[in-house]
Amino acid sequence: MKPELREALKLYLVTDPVLHGGRGVSDTCEEALIAGVRFIQLRDKSASTRSLYDSALILRELCRKYSCYFVVNDRIDVAMAAGADGVHLGQSDMPADIARSIMGPDAIIGVSVRTVEEAEKAMLNGADYIAANLVFSTSTKKDISKPLGLEMVSAISDVSSLPFIAIGGITPENTALVMDAGCSGVAVVTAIMNSDSPTLQVERFLKVLRD
C-alpha cells in the first residue's frame, strides 16, 4: 500500500537524463527508493515520445515494486499510456482542470507556480499539490532566470491549503530553510540524482525532514 500522499511528498525525486552519476536513471532511482523516497517524477524534456514512454514504463514498474507514487512531467499522454499515477504541469502546460477531466478523479496532478495568483488558480482548478518553481538557482532549470527566494515561498505558503513543495537548488543544507518558510516537502534533482551516493543523500534529507 502506498503511503499517504502528503507524507510521500516530503521528499520528491525528479529525474534527469544526464545527471545520474553514470549509474543510469533507473538504477539511481532504485537506490533512492530503497533508501526511502516515495514520490518520483520522470522529467526529460529532450526525449522523444517513444523514448519517454519506454522510460516511464521502467520507472512505473520500479515505483510499483517499492509502493512509490510515480508521475510524468508535462506529458499527460505519456503518463496515461504508461499507467503513471499522474502528471506534473507547468504554467505553459495543460490547465489542471482540463488535465483532471482527461485523466479522471484518481489521477495525481501537481502544478508548478511562481506567484500567489498561480497558486490560487491551481487550487481552484483541482490540483493535488503545488510546487514553488525555482526557489534557489540551479542548472536544471534553464527556462527561469530568477529564483523566487524564501519571501515569495512564504507568501505562497500563506494561501496554500495543498501540500506545497520547494523545487530548485534544494540540498540537505537548505531544506530546513524552505520548510521554515512554509513548505511541506522538497523536490530534488541534482543533490540526489548526481550524488556519489544517492542512498546517503536520501538519508541526509530524511533526517532533516524528520527533525
Note the Cα 183 to chain centre separation in Å.
13
| pLDDT (tens digit per residue) in 46-91 | 999 999 999 999 999 999 999 999 999 999 999 999 999 999 999 9
Domain membership flag for residue 204: yes
**Per-residue model confidence (pLDDT) at position 211:** 83
DSSP label at residue 20:
S
Determine the Cα–Cα distance for residues 145 and 148; give it in Å rounded to an integer. 10
pLDDT of residue 159: 94
Domain for residue 195, yes or no? yes
CA nearest neighbour of 129 among 174, 70, 184, 74: 184
pLDDT at 90: 96
SS3 75: coil
Domain range spanning residue 98?
6-210
Residue-level pLDDT at 20: 78
Residues of the chain with pLDDT under 50: none
Distance between CA atoms of 145 and 49, rounded to whole angstroms? Answer: 27
Q: Give the pLDDT of residue 198.
A: 96
The verdict on residue 93 lying in a domain is yes
pLDDT of residue 172: 96
Which contiguous run of DSSP H or E holds residue 34?
Answer: helix 25-35
Question: Is residue 28 in a domain?
Answer: yes
1 in a structural domain: no
Number of domains in the chain: 1
The CATH number of whichever domain residue 193 belongs to comes to 3.20.20.70
Residue 145: the pLDDT is 65
Q: Can you give the pLDDT at residue 143?
A: 58
Looking at the domain assignment, is residue 159 inside a domain?
A: yes
